[in-house]
Each structure stands twice: as C-alpha cells, then as structure tokens.
Structure 1
C-alpha cells in the first residue's frame, strides 16, 4: 500500500496578512508563496518546505460561515515549547482554553479571529 502525508490545508480567513504574521511568529514558518487566487481572492502559503497552510481571503474579506465542526473540527499544530506558544497566542489577543495533559502530549486550544479552532500540542516538554 502506498504511503501518504498531509501536504497542505487551505482555509478561508478574513485577513490573510494577519493570519500569516501570527502563524509565522507562533510556528516559525516561512512564506512559500503569495498572490492572487481563485475568485479574485488572495492567498499566502505559509509553512515548511514539505507542509504548509494556505490562508485564503476572498474579495472584501467576506467569509461564508459554517457551523462549528461542519465540516472542520480543528487544525492541530505541534510545537516544541507549549508555554512559549501560549504566550504568543495571548499576546495576539486570542484566548487559550481546554488545557489538557494526557498521552501522548500536553495541549491547549484557541479560536482565531475567524472562529477557526486550533489545537496546539507538544510531545516533548
């Protein structure tokens, strides 16, 4: 059976620049590409050489909303230093919640400015 890996996730946000700046600080990722995108929108690809998130902003920053969990529950991000990551989330004016410590690691969650839920997890600290 062939093996596979998750290459990218494409999410709609109201401000691609704001999201890219925040995740650059939180994750240490770099910008892979930016430019005009489908339906006259704008995208920034941010991540590593092998994996990335696309932050897509439609024209005017107007998003079509889905109910929580329909279809996305959350996006998980692994970090080396959970406490430092939490301070970056707080400094951005976002609120960490649901802190937990169970196998295989410690974690917390937060919603971004558009109501997208992120899980931040650390397996080593």
Structure 2
C-alpha cells in the first residue's frame, strides 16, 4: 500500500478565521484545537482521514516572501471538489477573488488566495 498524506502544518495569522472559512467553503470540521509549540495555537481542520494543521505563533510573524522562489516555501494547497462551479460561487461570495481557470486532462481547476495570501487550487476531476 502506498503512503497516504495525513496532514500538513503551516502558519497562518488567525487559525480561527482560516478554519471558519474552510469549514464553510469545503465542508470540513475542526478535529482538534489547542496550545502548540512555543506558546502558539494550532487548529486541525479537515475530514476524518486528512486535515490541515493551522498554526500561529505567540510572537509576531515575519513578512511574507515569494514562496515560489524560496526553497522550502509553500506554493499552494489543492483540494478536490465534486462541484467546482458551486465551490467557486461560494469562494467568491466569501470575498476571495478567483483566477487562473483551466480545463485540462482530466478535469477543471481555479485558484484563489486567502487572507494570508496563501494560494489554493480547487480541482474537479471528470
């Protein structure tokens, strides 16, 4: 059996805000939340099988850099949905701007950036 991705952990400014829009737009749930490394806070949001660990440190964060040119940078996070049109409408209604639409084999996609300027790819496979 190949390995399965269980979670990824990344830093956000406000894990409560990020978890809330992920619950609303992706239908996910908060699996756990609590104190974390160095006095920070983590919220695990996702499904029973996979999740994203949203972390914020106690101390202020450094300015953002272009992750596509930074070794070890987070470039984007992709999610698969059953109805890309309904998901895009919900993303736009939430106030995020969508772009970079493409039809490709074997599906369709678009991208958006959240309040922390993290890029998300939304994919629907045929």
| TM-score in terms of structure 2 length | 0.90
Q: Is 1:106 matched with 2:108?
A: yes
Conservation of the 8 A alpha-carbon contact between 1:107 and 1:120: yes
Q: Is the 8 A contact 1:35 1:43 kept in 2?
A: yes
Residue 78 (structure 2) aligns with:
76
The C-alpha deviation readout for 1:44-89, integer Å capped at 9, x for no partner, is 10111110001111226x3333323232211110011111111221
SS in 1 for 2:49: coil
- C-alpha displacement of 1:25: 1.1
- Residue 37 (structure 2) aligns with: 38
Deviation string, structure 1 residues 11-55 (Cα, Å, up to 9, x no partner): 111110110010011111111100011111111101111100011
- Matches of 2:115 and 2:22, distance apart in 1: 13
Contact 1:13/1:63 (CA < 8 Å) preserved in 2? no
TM-score, normalized by length of structure 1? 0.90
Superposition CA RMSD, Å: 1.4
The 2-side partners of 1:81 and 1:63 are apart by 35
Gaps of 5+ in 2: none
Count of aligned residue pairs for this structure pair: 122
Taking the TM superposition and a 5 Å limit, the aligned residue runs for 1:1-125 are: 3-59=2-58, 62-64=60-62, 65-69=64-68, 70=70, 71-124=73-126
Instruction: Pick which of 8-17 and 64-73 moved more.
Output: 64-73
Stretches of structure 1 that go unaligned for 5 or more consecutive residues are none
